[in-house]
Amino acid sequence: MISNAVPPHTHRTHRPKRVSHRAAATSDYLARLAPRLTSRDRWLIRMLYEHRVFTSGQITDLAWPSVRAANHRLHQLYVWRVIDRFKPFVSYGSAPMHYVLDVAGATVLAHEECLEVRSLGYRHERAMGIAYSLMLAHAVGANGFFTDLVALSRQADTHGHLAAWWSEARCRRHFGDVVCPDGYGRWQAPDGEFEWFLEYDRGTERPAKRVGDKLPRYAKLAENTGIITPVLVWTPTLRRETAVRHALDQALAALPDPAAVPVAVTNGELIADGDALSARWLPLTACSANRLRLSDLSSAWPQLPPLPATPDEPAGRSGTASLLPPPIPQCPKAGSDRGWW
């Protein structure tokens, strides 16, 4: 029998003291904060503004050599209100810490661009609102697909890198009147380049026909822009991939020109180790019936046109340009960051 119960609050970890929401946006505070921010910190601010939310593991894959080094710096940025954090509820185990942009980070970004914070469309309540959104798992999963590619490109034996990465919000601004992909990416390698739209399917779109119903919209986008861009469909399991592949085959057969919408599928069971570059992608209606590497998918569709010289803003695409240009997926190297590792 426990006769001297310990109050529950004594088991909680210490919460670091932070400046207030109002003080974090003042010019005096920013003047003190600016010398402490490294180029990597400022790059992370832009990445969070573009992609909304990352887990601690994804941020480590993007820019830090170890989880411990990343957590140390993320804790400091959290104290300074550059970033904010939350841990979503899960039924079993413990979820990783999730990070979003905070007031001081948004203010720093606005001043770098000679803008007002309201011109960025940033609101702290909206940034933290993703913690309660039903789309949180989808956003984190789609971001994780690209952060895995960045992590692979940081390895010395990987001959290539992720040259461009657009968020779902940026894709919506450019193509939302026709179709809304979950992301856009471009991989550069010495032997060639490959770009794609990502459809990240968690199995929540039932029936699978709803995934196939998106292909006519991609066909319309190709017709309007004159640019053929492959669509990569990620599914959670092999069983789900089979159902989605059947729906995609039917949708492609109904198109006037199936070659205008190259499609490849994979599933999370095949890329459980995070190596999305391996031979895991199965092209549909292509000259190859085997699974291919991501960098080799362009060989499955000879009709793909040459890519534009710059990966930042794909040429010939319609839509309203976004406020800020997309940040480069690779973290800039800076010797000033060494003191924080």
Query: The domain spanning residue 208 has which CATH number?
Result: 3.40.91
Same domain, 208 and 114: no
CATH number (domain holding residue 87): 1.10.10.10
Helix (H) or strand (E) holding 225: helix 215-225
Domain endpoint, select from 133, 160, 192: 133
Same domain, 124 and 197: no
- Cα separation of 97 and 88, whole Å? 8
If one counts the domains in the chain, the total is 2
Per the domain annotation, does 59 fall within a domain? Answer: yes
70, 123, 171 from 197: Cα distances, Å? 30, 28, 9
Q: Which of 16-30, 96-110, 307-321, 327-341 has the highest mean pLDDT?
A: 96-110
Same domain, 243 and 149: yes
Range of weakest confidence among 126-130, 244-248, 289-293, 313-317: 313-317
Please say if the pLDDT value at position 93 is more than 80: yes
Q: Which residue has the higher pLDDT, 157 or 317?
A: 157
Per the domain annotation, does 280 fall within a domain? Answer: yes
Under 8 Å between Cβ of 221 and 180: no
**pLDDT band at residue 314 using 50, 70 and 90 as cut-offs:** very low
**pLDDT band at residue 310 using 50, 70 and 90 as cut-offs:** low
- Token pair recorded at residue 202: 């968690």
What pLDDT, on a 0 to 100 scale, did the predictor assign at position 341? 32
Domain that holds residue 204: 136-300
Same domain, 200 and 287: yes
Same domain, 92 and 203: no
307-330: average pLDDT:
63
Domain endpoint, select from 98, 133, 168: 133
Per the domain annotation, does 186 fall within a domain? Answer: yes
Same domain, 97 and 209: no
Spell out the residues 6+ positions from residue 50 whose beta carbon is closer than 8 angstroms to its own: 167, 169, 170, 324, 326, 327
pTM of the model: 0.88
55, 56, 86, 90 from 95: Cα distances, Å? 9, 10, 10, 6
- Cα separation of 157 and 275, whole Å? 13
- In the three-class reduction of DSSP (H, G, I as helix; E, B as strand; rest coil), residue 101 is classed as strand
Same domain, 117 and 179: no
Candidates 285, 277, 288; CA nearest to 248 is 285
127, 212, 214, 233, 298 from 256: Cα distances, Å? 42, 15, 15, 21, 22
Per the domain annotation, does 85 fall within a domain? Answer: yes
Same domain, 191 and 255: yes
Same domain, 26 and 89: yes
**pLDDT band at residue 203 using 50, 70 and 90 as cut-offs:** confident
Give the orientation angle of helix 56-63 with respect to helix 67-79, to 10 degrees. Answer: 110
Same domain, 292 and 169: yes
- Token pair recorded at residue 252: 């492609």
- Cα separation of 304 and 318, whole Å? 19
Per the domain annotation, does 61 fall within a domain? Answer: yes
Under 8 Å between Cβ of 282 and 266: yes
Per the domain annotation, does 249 fall within a domain? Answer: yes
Candidates 162, 167, 163, 172; CA nearest to 142 is 167
Strands (E), 115-245: 161-166, 183-189, 192-200, 231-235
Please say if the pLDDT value at position 8 is more than 60: no
Per the domain annotation, does 8 fall within a domain? Answer: no
Q: How many CA atoms lie within 13 A of 184 on its CB side?
A: 24
What pLDDT, on a 0 to 100 scale, did the predictor assign at position 338? 41
Same domain, 156 and 281: yes
What pLDDT, on a 0 to 100 scale, did the predictor assign at position 102? 97
Same domain, 126 and 147: no
Domain endpoint, select from 133, 160, 176: 133
Going by DSSP bridges, is the β-strand pair 161-166/183-189 parallel, antiparallel, or unpaired? antiparallel
